[in-house]
Chain A
Amino acid sequence: MASARDEMTQLRRGVLEPCVLALLGRRERYGYELVGELSEAGLVASEGTVYPLLSRLRRDELVTTFWRESESGPPRRYYALTDRGRAAVERFRTSWVQFTASVEDILQIRGT
């Protein structure tokens, strides 16, 4: 049986990408801001590991990037969701509802 930490790692791995896309779907964010929110939500153990994911999402054209001036320092690279990324989030939402319903049913989290 995996430890609680391993279980969390596995769970995080599966949901990190859709959560990144969903956050960017609400509004565009710069890397540090996005990483901070994911970290606050307990979705990443190592903040640095989010950046390779962002690079891949950009290559897959699920997100796009642009530079914007910052009031407090140098220009920041912002990430925004593309139409393709928006469609991916919607697909995941549907799958997630079905998936969690099944798992909760089996784990008897909800009354049957």
Chain B
Amino acid sequence: MQAVPRHPLIDDYLDRLAAAAQPLGPRRAGELMDDIREHLTEALPGPDVDGADVRRVLDRLGEPHDVVAAAWDDDGMTARETVLPALRPDLSRGGEPWRFVTAVALLVAAQLLAPLWLVSVPMWIAGLILFATVTGWTARERALGWVFLGGGFPMGLLFTIAVALPFAMTSQVCTALPDGTQQCTGSTASDWGAAAILIVFALFFVGQIVTVVALVRARRRG
């Protein structure tokens, strides 16, 4: 087979197509890649190709995830109307959808069940391993996942410890009154401590939601 013309846009397109086609399996993904390479070779003859021509040809080909989605739809392996439409792009980019969904489920469950060591630790480890095997994200997106999804279990543990701590230390000033009673002014540290902990954990939770949305969107980009 004649070599596909070299151009950064073509290289990028083929890379994205290869990543998107991965879940189709090696044989079908290979077939699709061969067909698209052949198409590009026919559409852009000659070693020197013009950037505008490349863009036109790639635009007409369609986005890699659309091309791969056609393969899924065509086989009836999944339909656009199936459940979890937001996660459907996962089918076309880097790994089967169950890996991503299961990894998130395990990591979140480990976070919620953090005090139950025997259950939560294996869940956390399994979730981390699964998350590591899902491909198709940039380094930044993956780092987000490690921090906000992988960090869920340690945060769950910290939360458990934090709520269990008696906030005995106070910033109150107590004065002994002549009648033998005590008068205290100021607020308890526990008020501030609890508020701070709640804010930190609320922010972390928001970060987790943002991360899941960002990872799903990243896969939609193909």
Contact = CB atoms under 8 A, between A and B. Distances in A.
Q: Is the interface of A mostly helix, strand, loop or mixed?
A: helix
A22 to B, nearest CB: 18
Of B1, B42, B60, the most chain A CB neighbours within 10 A belong to: B42
B28 A48 contact: no
Given A47-B62, A72-B45, A55 B1 contact: no
Interface in A79-108: none
Could you say which interface size class chain A belongs to? 20 to 34
A49 interface: yes
Q: Is the interface of B mostly helix, strand, loop or mixed?
A: helix
Contact of B61 (A48, A53, A73, A77): A48
Interface string A52-82: 1111100000000000000011101100000
Given A31-B35, A53-B74, A55-B35, A73 B62 contact: no
B75 interface: yes
Contacts of B45: 72-73
Of B32, B41, B61, the most chain A CB neighbours within 10 A belong to: B61
A31 B39 contact: yes
Interface in B119-136: none
Contacts of A77: 38
B36 interface: yes
B54 interface: no
Contact of B32 (A32, A39, A51, A72): A51
Contacts of B60: 39, 46-47
Contacts of A55: 28, 31-32, 35, 71
A52 B32 contact: yes
18 contacts: A30-B42, A31-B35, A31-B42, A32-B42, A32-B43, A39-B60, A46-B67, A46-B70, A47-B60, A48-B36, A48-B61, A48-B64, A48-B66, A48-B70, A51-B35, A52-B70, A53-B70, A55-B28
Interface of B: 1-2, 28, 31-32, 35-36, 38-39, 41-43, 45, 60-64, 66-68, 70-71, 74-75
